[in-house]
Amino acid sequence: MSVNVGAYQSIHQELLSKNVQLIAVSKTKPNTDIIELYELGHRAFGENYVQELIDKADQLPKDIQWHFIGHLQSNKVKYISPFVHLIHGVDSEKLLQEINKQAIKQDRIIDCLLQVHIATEETKFGFDGPALHEFLTSGRVKDYSNIRIRGLMGMASFSEDQTLLSKEFTTLKSYFENAKKAFSNGQFDTLSMGMSGDYQLAIQLGSTMVRIGSLLFGARNYSK
């Protein structure tokens, strides 16, 4: 058991006081770790890999809210569409089309966040600023009858440079405020930004949802 219960409790209290939602990122971690937080009352968990997510969802309590935070391939949407709570990394209209199709089949509305590319690294997925603006002002959003776009998600550069991180988070927050104008229903309310290393900065700069893994569960071991 490697859950850091003390860290969980202090982060949980801190976020509660700031009205920020905590997603416990449990990728690569065993079910026993998830159950430990579940028994403390935690329900929102984040996973990156489709097969791992469906195995865990099958084995664990049904009232867990599963957040898909990884890069989602269109051909895998059907496996998570029956139960996923929020898909964070929607980075193309092709993916939106597939999610919408599967949501219609399941007769449900699926909540999604559009992923925005804010980091300097070229490998990170997402819409860039102009593509996001074009999409949101195009009128095409309403074609996706069974998707509710709840907000934006972004990952800052893998860096310790606070100035750089601040700049990236500030950019994402300004896209978020702008994008809000395209949604009059008041349900565009989620800005998913901040991880173990940078969540406090992200919250200062306007995050409403943080995705924290290693601070809660310890470092991940990918060699297994």
Interacting residue ranges for ligand PLP, rule: CB under 6 A: 25, 27, 48, 69-70, 155, 195-197, 211-214
Least separation in angstroms between CB 211 and ligand PLP:
4
Whole-angstrom distance, CA of residue 103 vs CA of residue 72: 15
- Residue 18 sits at the vertex; the CA angle it makes with 71 and 28, to the nearest 5 degrees, is 30
Nearer Cβ to ligand PLP, position 77 or 154? 154
Nearer Cβ to ligand PLP, position 183 or 197? 197
Whole-angstrom distance, CA of residue 155 vs CA of residue 35: 27
Nearer Cβ to ligand PLP, position 107 or 160? 160
Whole-angstrom distance, CA of residue 34 vs CA of residue 75: 27
Least separation in angstroms between CB 23 and ligand PLP:
8
Least separation in angstroms between CB 173 and ligand PLP:
17
Find out whether 64 and 57 touch, Cβ atoms under 8 Å: yes
Least separation in angstroms between CB 109 and ligand PLP:
23
Nearer Cβ to ligand PLP, position 47 or 98? 47
- The closest alpha carbon to 47, from 16, 18, 76, belongs to 76
- Residue whose Cβ sits closest to ligand PLP: 213
Nearer Cβ to ligand PLP, position 21 or 196? 196
- The closest alpha carbon to 50, from 92, 97, 2, 83, belongs to 83
| Phi-psi group of 168: left, alpha or beta (phi > 0 → left; psi -120 to 50 → alpha; rest → beta) | alpha
Least separation in angstroms between CB 29 and ligand PLP:
10
